[in-house]
Amino acid sequence: MRPIDKGEAPNVTFHCYQDAEPYLEERIGAYCSYCEFPIQHVPEVEHKEAKARGGSQLAWSNLLLSCKYCNARKHDVVWVGDKNRYIWPDEEDTFHCFSYSDDIPQLNEDYLEARESVVRKRAEGLYQMVKLGNIPTSPKDKDRRYARRSYARRCAEQCRTAWEKIRNSVEQEEYLNLMLELAKATGFFSVWMEVFQGDGVVRQGLIGAFKGTRREYCEE
């Protein structure tokens, strides 16, 4: 899960929470803060502590961008004061808490075993809350996250194959730039980072291409 930096609250007055959307998109890009789905239509401004459960509607610290799939599943689960039961991508190192070695994200047990048990509980809490590993099993389940994540992986794997052939050639820089544009279009930052594990050039490019990424958590 991509760790993000929203920066300080913008020097404007929000009259409704939807007013924060263009500022969030400018800071962290039009991607779901949880599943990393590329949001092609209007991103949903999501409240970490649900506004229906006492959470602040306008506080910058309580706002993230979400796709409709994560937002619908999270709904109003988190009451005011319960935020510490979950890990949050704008506050901590979520990058290492989850593994993207296949099309279904999992808890990164190797990393979490070396941390306090509460860290694992909080990571698992967020994972379960937004149903990050959901695979649609019926036509009634309209969740497109799995399919789009699989597509992003196929694109990344094909790019890696081509990159291995073209790197260190005169076309390297041009191809890298095209590859980064494709990564931004398909989304799922963590999938691309997993596919290019061990390739510092591409991973550094990905960190820079996805604006608002917390570099200190993602660098090897």
All domains of the chain, ordered by start, with CATH?
A: 17-129 (1.10.30), 145-218 (no CATH)
CB 65 within 8 A of CB 31: yes
Say whether pLDDT at 42 is over 80: no
Quote the longest CA-to-CA distance of the chain.
57
Buried b (16+ CB within 10 A) or exposed e, 58-68: bebebbbbbbb
**How far is residue 38's CA from residue 115's CA, in Å, rounded to a whole number?**
31
Q: What is the pLDDT of residue 97?
A: 97
Tell me: pLDDT of 220 over 80: no
Stated pTM of the model: 0.95
pLDDT higher than threshold 90 for residue 55 = yes
- pLDDT, position 102: 85
